[in-house]
Structure 1
Amino acid sequence: MTRYLTRTPPPPGRLRVFCFPYAGGGASAYAGWQRRITADAELLPVQLPGREGRMAEPRFTDLHDLVADLDAELGPELDHPHVLYGHSMGALIAFALAQHRHARGARLPAALVLGGHRAPHLPAPLPDEPDIPDADLVRTLDAYGGLPRILLDHPEWLAALLPIVRDDLRLCAAAGTVARTPLPVALHAFGGAEDRLVTVPEVREWARYSTRESEINVVPGGHFFPREAPGFPELLSAVLRRYEAAPGAIPGTAPGPAGAGQA
């Protein structure tokens, strides 16, 4: 099994849902989600290097290098019907991976499900200042709602997390360098109604990146709405059901869900 996955992929024929974490997060962000989604889809949380079970490995700070490594490692699994899902930084990684595979003519996902990230043609919400002092970085992230509240109550956790966050912000700073080709893939974007880091109009801009149907969903909560909206895994499950019986997408033939539109 590839080092990026925390569980064994299902047998062929079952929809695979690769889940990418937010900045500073790991595969554990999706703990418990499997039992809350459709039984015909298998959630595969992606564990990036330099965190949780891969803490001893060096972290990527270049988005394109990370995506190339993901493609090389996950390639055999991505040749089966699949969906890419990511939140915040994870949404950017999922989109960049789809663009990378599209450019080389590889199989594409049946759908992209992207949450809590603005469309890549928009300017980054946070300044790219790698040497910003820790206290200023925390204040900036907190001002935008970009830190889970529990971390602010546990300074020792926050101190351990900040080096990972810094490297992940370097990844996010490359959003503007990702290819912006509209993809032949259905796209579902989620935004938090109270998100101060990524506004709903910025999430709506994702619609231009699909030549198939696109759907923009606004849910209660701030930037970490998957935690704040108790029923979010069930909302994701409703999206996944549209693709359970789909044969998966190949370049130029990605199926779109019937009746999808913009909210």
Structure 2
Amino acid sequence: MPNPWFGRSEPAQGAAFRLFCLPYAGGSAAAYRDWHALAPHDIQICPLELPGRGSRILEPPLTRLPQLSGALAEALAPHLDRPFAVFGHSMGGLLAFELTRTLRRCRRPLPAHLFVSAVAGPDAPRTRPPVHRASDADVVDELRALGGTPRELLEDEELMRLMLPTIRADFSALETYRYRPEPPLPVPLTVLGGTDDPLVPVPGLEGWHRQTDVDAAVRLLPGGHFFLHSAAAGVMAVIAETFGIPAPVTRCL
């Protein structure tokens, strides 16, 4: 039976190295659709589809980060048979971190590297007011403030009505998250941030250093909170450099 966390295509068995990619709040595996063309041949891009979006739009979304990290750990277990890394942007970065801690608690293989992008350290206090129980208009206003949702989508009432339950669930996962201290991870960390990101300034990124007892580095890329899209080639260059792979040549998408 196909694994729904991989959408319509499971990881190829011949892959030498896998990069599991987790989306931001309200996002789907489609956030990484261009990465297959950008990645070096040595890295297999594996976008993960969370419930309630994309090919899983009919499934109820999960509203707590521990639920998501536990379900992901189970779903990925058969695919941890070769070197892998985990990348997550914004909410996906926090989920990538908790997934790695879940894998450690379950005594399963750990990633060779953890990439967290556009998210403050997990023990940083939340500064934005909660919106997961707010009115639809307030949730849409929050999406508009975050800046990652196209205006035409925000103005499409029918589509927003379809997506709001999933967006609320993601906000709920973020806003109810409570960091629980554990020993630092034995996994190297790269923290990516946008030079013009008003939501996660550089000091917030620095808090990730406490979460690993090996190497940690902060890398800044041009752009705001969603530099994941505007600087996608730069993000992939950082990933390739981390593993000592020649920087990929950008191909036509």
TM-score, length of structure 2 as denominator length = 0.87
Aligned residue in 2 for 1:255: none
Distance 1:67 1:117 in 2: 17
Aligned length in residues: 244
Q: Deviations over 1:13-65 (max 9, x none)?
A: 61010000111111111112112111101000001111111111111112111
Distance 2:152 2:88 in 1: 21
From 131, 134, 152, give the equivalent of 1:132: 134
Q: Which amino acid aligns with 2:186?
A: P
Contact residue 221 and residue 231 of structure 2 kept, 8 A: yes
After alignment, is 134-143 or 191-200 more displaced? 134-143
Contact residue 144 and residue 196 of structure 1 kept, 8 A: no
From 189, 196, 199, give the equivalent of 1:197: 199
After alignment, is 59-68 or 177-186 more displaced? 177-186
Aligned residue in 1 for 2:251: none
Aligned residue in 2 for 1:71: 73
Q: Which amino acid aligns with 1:228?
A: S
From 101, 117, 120, give the equivalent of 1:118: 120
Q: CA RMSD in A?
A: 2.2
Aligned residue in 1 for 2:18: 16
C-alpha deviation, 1:74, in angstroms:
1.0
C-alpha deviation, 1:115, in angstroms:
0.3
- The alignment-based identity, stated in percent, is 35
After alignment, is 141-150 or 18-27 more displaced? 141-150
Q: Deviations over 1:206-241 (max 9, x none)?
A: 111111111101111111011122523432442453
Moved over 6 A (4+): none
From 17, 36, 54, give the equivalent of 1:52: 54
C-alpha deviation, 1:173, in angstroms:
1.9
- CA 1:149–1:91: 2 relative to 1, 3 Å: farther
Distance 2:219 2:87 in 1: 14
- CA 1:243–1:72: 2 relative to 1, 3 Å: farther
- CA 1:241–1:140: 2 relative to 1, 3 Å: same
Contact residue 131 and residue 138 of structure 2 kept, 8 A: no
Contact residue 145 and residue 197 of structure 1 kept, 8 A: no
C-alpha deviation, 1:178, in angstroms:
4.7
Q: Which amino acid aligns with 1:5?
A: F
Distance 2:173 2:25 in 1: 9
What pairs with 1:157-196 in structure 2 (closer than 5 Å)? 157-196=159-198
Aligned residue in 2 for 1:220: 222
Aligned residue in 1 for 2:86: 84
Q: Deviations over 1:85-132 (max 9, x none)?
A: 010111111100001111222211000011011111011233234321
Contact residue 22 and residue 90 of structure 1 kept, 8 A: yes
- CA 1:12–1:211: 2 relative to 1, 3 Å: farther
Distance 2:168 2:156 in 1: 18
What stretches of structure 2 of length at least 5 have no aligned partner? 247-253
- CA 1:149–1:87: 2 relative to 1, 3 Å: farther
- CA 1:128–1:167: 2 relative to 1, 3 Å: same
Q: Secondary structure at the match of 1:217?
A: strand
Distance 1:11 1:135 in 2: 45
Contact residue 15 and residue 43 of structure 2 kept, 8 A: no
Q: Which amino acid aligns with 1:123?
A: P
What stretches of structure 1 of length at least 5 have no aligned partner? 245-263
Contact residue 99 and residue 179 of structure 1 kept, 8 A: no
